[in-house]
Amino acid sequence: MLKSVILPEAASADDCARAVLEAWPDNLVVHLAGLKPEQDLREFYGAMFDKIGHAEPLAEDATVGDRNSQRTGEVWMQVRYDPAIPDAYRHSANPQPLHTDGSYIPGFPNAGFLACKAMPKSGGATTFIAGKDVVAALQSEAPDLYDRLLAVDIPHARSGDRRVAPFLRFEDGEPVLNWNYYCVDTEADAEVQSLRQALFDFLDSSPMIAERLQRVKLSPGEAVLWKDDRLLHGRDGFDPEIVSDRFLWKAQVQVEA
Ligand SMILES: O=C(O)CCC(=O)C(=O)O
Ligand SMILES: [Fe+2]
């Protein structure tokens, strides 16, 4: 599920790309550590993207317009603690519930990416749970909910995009997920709305989900790349002391491996 690669401090973007491509086929999450903390993250990892595939210009800016018009046309966006920017998980210190990033974007690339510029001492890990563990938890703890989730399409909408997909489907026997509680189309019918709440409550309270959740607490210079629709991710809350106390650069990448 999760592979931590410790690269030499002087590793090049090429070395980093080779390590990613080697780990990618057999893992859902690749954690990249060991690099110099003070490097220019966007320059280094941006060069790495071009060697493993390419980044998509899907960045959003929470300070621009409303939630339906925040696309900037850039690759990189900030996940940065800033209490001056309200109503955005990317700028809060709250725990973020499990989700996929591509929930409302048709043709979303296959990987999410976060690189760390700053991390507070307390809390702030990014959390991951494999699709197969979500399936196992639903089957054993909430079999009726599991059946409904397979049967009902859930429309998600935001930033002018809309995607209709079930929470869970199988592709070549592998679970594929599509989910963000906060992006479910508000116009969807009552069945969808009740399923939305039931799934949120389940993910929030399931003992098996809590037990199988894995944490990656990034240090400055480190990064994590994950197969967006093969797992769910979120983050632990944290205790900020100053603005930008936690600062990650986020991108969306199509990995060709
Ligand atoms: O803050 C994190 O570690 C995760 C952020 C995230 O999942 C997101 O911005 O979509
Ligand atoms: Fe996310």
Same domain, 116 and 151: no
Structural domain harbouring 158: 131-208
Phi-psi region of 143 (alpha: psi -120 to 50; beta: other; left: phi over 0): alpha
- Give yes or no: residues 78 and 108 share one domain: yes
CA 148 to centroid of ligand 1, rounded, Å: 28
Q: What is the pLDDT of residue 63?
A: 87
Residues 62 and 101 in one domain: yes
Q: Are residues 66 and 145 in the same domain?
A: no
* Same domain? 170 vs 232: no
Instruction: For residue 85, report the distance from its CA to the centre of ligand 2, in Å.
Output: 18
Distance in angstroms (rounded) separating the CA atoms of residues 30 and 5: 7
Q: Give the ligand with the smallest distance to the CA of 250.
A: 1
Do 136 and 226 belong together in one domain? no
Atom 3 in ligand 1: residue holding the nearest Cα: 126
Going by C-alpha positions, the residue among 116, 92, 106, 112 that lies closest to residue 39 is 116
Atom 7 of ligand 1: nearest residue by CA position: 234
Looking at the fold, whether 163 and 248 belong to one and the same domain comes out as no
Residue 243 in tokens: 């603005």
| Ligand 1 atom index nearest CA of 89 | 9
What is the DSSP secondary-structure string of 149-207? HHH-EEEEEETTEEEEEESEEEETTEEEE---GGGB-TTS-HHHHHHHHHHHHHHHH-H
Per-position pLDDT tens, the chain of length 257: 999 999 999 999 999 999 999 999 999 999 999 999 989 999 999 999 999 999 999 998 888 877 777 888 899 999 999 999 998 999 999 999 999 999 999 999 999 999 999 999 999 999 999 999 999 999 999 999 999 999 999 999 998 899 999 999 999 999 999 999 999 999 999 999 999 999 999 999 999 999 999 999 999 999 999 999 999 999 999 999 999 999 999 999 999 98
Number of domains making up the chain: 2
Buried b / exposed e along 198-218 (16+ C-beta atoms within 10 A): ebbebbeebebbeebbbebbb
Residues with CB under 6 A from ligand 1: 79, 90, 96, 101, 114, 126, 233, 235, 248, 250
Asked if residue 86 and residue 10 are part of one domain, the reply reads yes
* Pair (23, 99) in one structural domain: yes
Amino acid at 148: R
Query: What is the model's pLDDT at position 70?
Result: 84
Tell which one of 90, 128, 213, 225 to mutate to probe ligand 1, the residue whose CB is within 8 A of the most ligand atoms.
90
